[in-house]
Amino acid sequence: MTIITDERCTNYHSPGHPERPFRVAGTVKQLKAQMKIKVDWAKPEAAPLEKVLRAHTKNHYQRLGEPHDFDGDTAYHEGIREHALRGAGGALKALELAKAGKPHFSLLRPPGHHATKERAMGFCYLGSVAIAALEAKAARAKRVAVFDFDVHHGNGTEDILAKRDDLAFFSIHQHPAYPGTGTKSFDNCHNYTVRPGLPREDYRKTAEKALADLKAFKPDVVIASAGFDAYAGDPLCNQKLSADDFRWYGKTLAGLGVPLANAMEGGYSDDLPDLVTAYLEGLLGK
């Protein structure tokens, strides 16, 4: 199992903000201490500008270098554009490893799935997974799918990938919840909503439907936006999943039998290292 990470992504924070360095640092610490999974470590390169500009406008890219906050949730930090470029580079590295049949996980921050073509929002600055999906298409993959199981709708990924040929976006997410989008499916974007406090068994039924539709799309590449905030102990939403559910996600996605790229999105509880580890075990069929 290759873990794509870079200690520099822990060098920024806002006091009290849920998108904190522990998300990466705590998970790295646990993965180094555990013995069940043999881990190799890799660092990402910054995503090349030409690949970023497939997904985002030049104005957006330039705005990331301007030293003032983007919104109340999404602060400017010194060097945040470089952190976001490495995050996108991690997703591109994940795609490369997926094509080579090597299990992996991109463990970086900031997350990316709320960043739209023209706007940073929701802790996200560049749409890492969307950038990787467009790279897969540019490399002549026939049918590319993004599967987003973060508890929040991946509105940015949807904005970037909507109405593109042979690309499909599948998102299971709570509604109502931030950012308030994703209530309907359209064209190549498939949205599956769950209410707050849904029983775990019912959540799994909705996830099974989403995964069945993903399989029916017959992708030759899948990119997973791996969010862990549907966990019962997460402070930002109201779902009831356990570590076993994330292990199931990993095992089911790996079982599709096509190249699978994996990049972390949300997940804000102190138990995040356990949840990521469970997902990795699922990817390995454990």
pTM of the shown model: 0.98
CB contact at 8 A, 239 and 275? no
User: pLDDT value at position 201?
Assistant: 98
190 is an active site residue: no
Give, for all 286 residues of the chain, the pLDDT tens digit.
999 999 999 999 999 999 999 999 999 999 999 999 999 999 999 999 999 999 999 999 999 999 999 999 999 999 999 999 999 999 999 999 999 999 999 999 999 999 999 999 999 999 999 999 999 999 999 999 999 999 999 999 999 999 999 999 999 999 999 999 999 999 999 999 999 999 999 999 999 999 999 999 999 999 999 999 999 999 999 999 999 999 999 999 999 999 999 999 999 999 999 999 999 999 999 9
Return d(Cα 167, Cα 141) in angstroms, integer.
10
Return d(Cα 107, Cα 91) in angstroms, integer.
9
Q: Domain count of the chain?
A: 1
In the DSSP assignment, the letter for residue 186 is B
Return d(Cα 143, Cα 159) in angstroms, integer.
18
Q: Does residue 21 have a cis peptide bond before it, meaning omega lies within 30 degrees of 0? A: no
User: pLDDT value at position 31?
Assistant: 98
Return d(Cα 74, Cα 151) in angstroms, integer.
18
Relative to beta strand 104-106, strand 2-4 is: parallel
Return d(Cα 167, Cα 15) in angstroms, integer.
38
Catalytic-role residue among 56, 83, 113, 114: 114
- What is the 3-state secondary structure of 40-99? EEECCCCCCHHHHCCCCCHHHHHHCCCCCCCCCCCCCCCCHHHHHHHHHHHHHHHHHHHH
- 92 token code pair: 């591109």
Q: How do residues 63-101 score in pLDDT, each as one tens digit?
A: 999 999 999 999 999 999 999 999 999 999 999 999 999
Q: Which domain holds residue 269?
A: 2-283
Position 89: which residue type? G
Contacts of 205 by beta carbon, 8 Å cutoff, 6+ apart: none
CB contact at 8 A, 149 and 225? yes
How many Cβ atoms sit within 10 Å of the Cβ of residue 16? 6
**98: helix, coil or strand?**
helix
Q: Looking at residue 171, which CATH number applies to its domain?
A: 3.40.800.20
Return d(Cα 138, Cα 71) in angstroms, integer.
32
User: pLDDT value at position 187?
Assistant: 98
Is 217 exposed, middle or buried, given 0-12, 13-18 or 19+ CB atoms closer than 10 A? middle
In the DSSP assignment, the letter for residue 72 is S
User: pLDDT value at position 245?
Assistant: 98
- 160 token code pair: 């970037």
